[in-house]
């Protein structure tokens, strides 16, 4: 077997330019597949980690249902203070908070810009609100109960919104009222990047004085999120006089969100990997073309080998190993280039999105990609190898290039 590999390497090295062009075709396909799979897996791992950290023991409740009957009432379905109290009193709920959010125009000096606004509770409920929002104060302080005209601004919103960057003690004008920045924060959860206000102030500014856009319930230790989710659904149905299947609200756990994200990501990843597979197929056609040319050029060599006793199986094996090595080399360089691209892309995503991300480059994926490239190369070389194996030695020796 070692002699077969040595002979294959020698034959490939004698046709350097043609071999490298063929290898590049295979490399492009493997590069596309490895980079896309690695980036996709890294993104999935990062989002799963964030969701588990922020919402692993929480249930998220939103207005509007999924059933057919609820579609006609979704425009009037609301989460109110009564809904919040009902959820707080549900078996298995440790604590619950309501959030409001929308977009508004804020002015800074003579300039104006759109901001997302989130209203968060203060006082005893501030802990759950900050936990669910992934909120961390990097400058200044958090909001207090009496901060009617004070706001927090996310770090990403302090830059590129106005000619002068926002900072502590800056004043933003909203609906003709000035609000002073008392804190700059980082957020990674339910509070969108933008402006964060004390709950009562946000309700007035956004004209949502009797509603919530979302309620977040923390699961009591000893209960499972799915169990508490069903308890909340039953409590809200009873409070609203609804039957099962007529819900005008939606509940989700971190597992639900992760599952939905995985389904969407799988579709996108499948489509992109399909494109990479097409590139790899083109590379396989290139290998086949190269091997057909090689067989034609080496017809007399095949005749000599058969004349001295080489069997059809031995001739077949020589060309199959040769085409497999071309695929394997292309796979190796494709893996190296694909990992380089995925690490560079992950760094850019981390900087632009603020999500810590590491490519999902597992040994199984790397070895699998190289094995796949070897198999594609071997299969692509089968027909040319079969042609060589079936040559008549007399005709092969008479062949004139």
Q: Quick: pLDDT tens for 292-350.
A: 887 777 778 778 887 888 788 888 888 888 888 888 888 899 899 988 888 888 887 77
Query: 25-34, 150-159, 186-195, 326-335 — which is least confidently predicted?
Result: 186-195
> Which residues have C-beta within 8 Å of that of residue 228, sequence separation ≥ 6?
59, 90, 91, 92, 93, 217, 219, 220
Query: Per-residue pLDDT for 290 more than 50?
Result: yes
Provide the pLDDT confidence category of residue 71 given band limits of 50, 70 and 90: very low
pLDDT value at position 49? 66
> Which residues have C-beta within 8 Å of that of residue 399, sequence separation ≥ 6?
299, 300, 303
Query: Per-residue pLDDT for 3 more than 50?
Result: yes
Query: Per-residue pLDDT for 273 more than 70?
Result: yes
Provide the pLDDT confidence category of residue 224 given band limits of 50, 70 and 90: confident
> Which residues have C-beta within 8 Å of that of residue 84, sequence separation ≥ 6?
96, 97, 98, 212, 215
Q: Percentage of residues in the chain with pLDDT exceeding 90?
A: 7
Query: Per-residue pLDDT for 105 more than 50?
Result: yes
Query: 41-45, 59-63, 325-329, 384-388 — which is least confidently predicted?
Result: 41-45
Cα maximum dimension of the chain: 100
Provide the pLDDT confidence category of residue 400 given band limits of 50, 70 and 90: low
Query: Per-residue pLDDT for 377 more than 50?
Result: yes
Of 16 and 35, which is predicted with more confidence? 35
Query: Per-residue pLDDT for 73 more than 50?
Result: no
Give the integer Cα–Cα distance in Å for 22 and 284. 9
Give the integer Cα–Cα distance in Å for 130 and 128. 5
Provide the pLDDT confidence category of residue 286 given band limits of 50, 70 and 90: confident
Query: Per-residue pLDDT for 53 more than 70?
Result: no
pLDDT value at position 303? 82
Q: Average pLDDT over the chain, rounded to whole?
A: 81
Q: Are 225 and 71 in contact (CB under 8 A)?
A: no
Query: Per-residue pLDDT for 383 more than 80?
Result: yes
Q: Are 370 and 321 in contact (CB under 8 A)?
A: no
**36: closest CA among 394, 277, 342?**
342
Give the integer Cα–Cα distance in Å for 327 and 370. 8
Q: Are 306 and 393 in contact (CB under 8 A)?
A: yes
pLDDT value at position 55? 53
Provide the pLDDT confidence category of residue 401 given band limits of 50, 70 and 90: low
Provide the pLDDT confidence category of residue 156 given band limits of 50, 70 and 90: confident
First-to-last CA distance in the chain? 30
Mean pLDDT of 223-236: 89
> Which residues have C-beta within 8 Å of that of residue 292, sequence separation ≥ 6?
383, 384, 387
Token pair listed for 163: 């000619």
Query: Per-residue pLDDT for 200 more than 70?
Result: yes
Under DSSP, is residue 278 helix (H, G, I), strand (E, B) or coil? helix
């Amino acid at each position: 077997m070692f002699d077969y590999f040595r002979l294959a390497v020698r034959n490939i090295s004698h046709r350097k330019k043609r071999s490298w062009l063929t290898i590049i075709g295979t490399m492009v396909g493997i590069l596309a597949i490895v980079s896309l799979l690695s980036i996709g897996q890294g993104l999935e791992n990062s989002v799963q980690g964030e969701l588990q950290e922020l919402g692993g023991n929480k249930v998220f409740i939103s207005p509007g249902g999924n059933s057919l009957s609820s579609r006609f009432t979704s425009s009037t379905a609301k989460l109110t203070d009564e809904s919040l109290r009902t959820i707080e009193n549900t078996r298995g709920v440790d604590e619950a908070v309501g959030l409001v959010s929308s977009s508004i125009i804020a002015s800074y000096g003579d300039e104006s810009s759109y901001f997302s606004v989130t209203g968060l509770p203060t006082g005893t409920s501030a802990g759950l609100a900050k936990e669910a929002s992934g909120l961390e104060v990097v400058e200044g302080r958090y909001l207090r109960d009496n901060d009617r005209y004070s706001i927090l601004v996310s770090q990403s919103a302090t830059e590129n919104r106005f000619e002068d960057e926002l900072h502590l003690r800056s004043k933003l004008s909203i609906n003709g009222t000035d609000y002073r920045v008392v804190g700059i924060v980082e957020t990674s959860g339910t509070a969108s990047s933008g402006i964060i206000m004390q709950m009562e102030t946000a309700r007035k500014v956004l004209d949502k004085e009797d509603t919530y856009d979302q309620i977040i319930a923390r699961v009591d230790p000893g209960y499972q999120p799915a169990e508490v989710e069903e308890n909340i659904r039953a409590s809200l149905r009873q409070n609203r006089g609804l039957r099962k299947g007529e819900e005008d609200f939606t509940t989700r756990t971190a597992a639900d969100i992760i599952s939905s994200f995985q389904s969407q990501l799988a579709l996108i990843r499948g489509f992109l990997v399909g494109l990479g597979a097409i590139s790899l197929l083109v590379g396989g056609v290139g290998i086949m073309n190269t091997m057909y040319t090689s067989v034609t050029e080496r017809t007399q060599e095949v005749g000599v080998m058969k004349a001295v006793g080489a069997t059809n199986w031995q001739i077949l094996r020589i060309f199959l190993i040769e085409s497999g090595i071309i695929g394997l080399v292309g796979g190796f360089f494709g893996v190296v280039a694909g990992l380089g691209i995925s690490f560079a892309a992950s760094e850019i995503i981390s900087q632009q999105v603020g999500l810590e991300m590491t490519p999902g480059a597992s040994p199984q994926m790397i070895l699998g990609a190289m094995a796949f490239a070897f198999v594609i190369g071997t299969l692509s070389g089968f027909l040319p190898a079969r042609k060589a194996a079936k040559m008549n030695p007399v005709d092969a020796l008479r062949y004139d290039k």
